């Protein structure tokens, strides 16, 4: 994992986060838009606690100015409109080794019915984040949670309005891994078993679910661990679609840890996209973490934040 993506949140002696920011057009209009909810909801975190450098694509920055979001915030770099290469430049910054230029995370609030969400630069942006172990946050819920977790890690007081989402006894999580990532998923699940065991509901696709139940039987005992995870069909046979329905119906599956292998061609690419599309459809509810490095840090910070939640 690159050092800049695993480092702790900034302090007086640490460089601030550099965050790429873009949104689909439908998320830019009005004070109820996802963009406005994100920046208004996280204004204190951004302005006072993390103070990140924001690298913002042109139309998104125009919308921020029109809506009066983060007025006077000094740490903003403007990138061109998407049609002039703004998203392509974000991809370049994700992979840049220069700590003064590289991005530590990307927030791209995506509308699944906007064709631009499938443009090559949008796909490449997510893929390079996965490859380089940097958070790619494509839903409002995911961006809000990530900022909250990093702020608390930096010493900020938790936002009590978010406490209900961190009451894990009322929450569910999906655990999914491609073939090359199944061993990594098992290792992560074993390291964070105490946290995952707090969730009211766990589900997984195909073989991953069976392997996780075997792990739970080893840790909790054969009977107690037998149904620790609810297994659905394998991804190619429709398991991703089954979990997508839970997300769309807001049924105990707010969070998805989906360990993708970005280096192989996948015959069931449409099924993978369907699951991500479901999370983006209910952008204020669901989030999806797509790589092991970010997943490790996310689960560690989730444990810290969940301990502070007041049910």
Q: Could you tell me whether strands 105-109 and 18-23 are parallel, antiparallel, or unpaired per DSSP bridges?
A: parallel
Q: Quote the CA–CA distance of 109 and 36 in Å, as a whole number.
A: 11
Catalytic residue among 104, 163, 179, 240: 240
Q: Is the dihedral of CA 109, 110, 114, 119 positive or negative?
A: positive
Q: Quote the CA–CA distance of 128 and 260 in Å, as a whole number.
A: 12
Question: Which DSSP string do the residues of 3-15 spell out, in sequence order?
Answer: HHHHSPPP-TTSP
Contact 292, 184 (CB under 8 A): yes
Q: Which residue in 17, 156, 31, 138 sits closest to 75, CA to CA?
A: 17
Q: What angle is formed at CA 293 by the lines to CA 243 and CA 35, rounded to 5 degrees?
A: 65
The token duo for 187 is 């290792």
For residue 27, CA distances in Å to 176, 266, 285 come to 28, 30, 15
Q: What angle is formed at CA 75 by the lines to CA 158 and CA 146, rounded to 5 degrees?
A: 30
Known catalytic membership, residue 62: no
Q: Quote the CA–CA distance of 279 and 285 in Å, as a whole number.
A: 8
Q: Could you tell me whether strands 53-57 and 18-23 are parallel, antiparallel, or unpaired per DSSP bridges?
A: parallel
Q: Quote the CA–CA distance of 223 and 217 in Å, as a whole number.
A: 7
Please list the active-site residues: 240
């Amino acid at each position: 994992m690159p050092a800049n993506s695993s480092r702790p949140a900034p302090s007086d002696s640490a460089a601030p986060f550099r965050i790429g920011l873009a949104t689909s057009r439908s998320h830019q209009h009005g004070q109820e838009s996802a963009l406005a909810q994100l920046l208004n909801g996280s204004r204190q975190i951004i302005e006072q606690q993390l103070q990140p450098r924001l690298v913002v694509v042109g139309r998104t920055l125009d919308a921020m100015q029109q809506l009066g979001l983060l007025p006077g915030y000094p740490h903003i770099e403007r990138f061109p409109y998407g049609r002039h290469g703004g998203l392509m430049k974000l991809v370049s910054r994700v992979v840049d080794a220069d700590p003064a230029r590289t991005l530590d995370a990307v927030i791209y609030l995506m509308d699944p019915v906007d064709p631009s969400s499938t443009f090559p630069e949008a796909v490449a942006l997510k893929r390079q984040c996965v490859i380089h172990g940097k958070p790619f946050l494509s839903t409002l819920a995911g961006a809000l949670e990530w900022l909250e977790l990093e702020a608390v890690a930096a010493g900020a007081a938790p936002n009590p309005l978010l406490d209900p989402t961190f009451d894990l006894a009322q929450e569910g999580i999906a655990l999914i891994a491609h073939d090359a990532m199944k061993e990594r998923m098992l290792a992560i699940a074993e390291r964070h078993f105490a946290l995952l065991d707090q969730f009211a509901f766990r589900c997984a696709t195909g073989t991953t679910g069976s392997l996780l139940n075997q792990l739970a039987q080893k840790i909790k005992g054969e009977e107690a661990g037998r149904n620790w995870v609810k297994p659905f069909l394998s991804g190619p046979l429709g398991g991703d679609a089954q979990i997508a329905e839970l997300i769309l119906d807001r049924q105990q599956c707010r969070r998805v840890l989906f360990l993708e292998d970005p280096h192989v061609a996948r015959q069931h690419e449409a099924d993978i996209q369907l699951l991500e599309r479901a999370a983006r459809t209910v952008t204020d509810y669901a989030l999806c973490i797509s790589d092991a490095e970010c997943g490790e840090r996310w689960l560690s910070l989730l444990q810290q934040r969940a301990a502070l939640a007041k049910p």
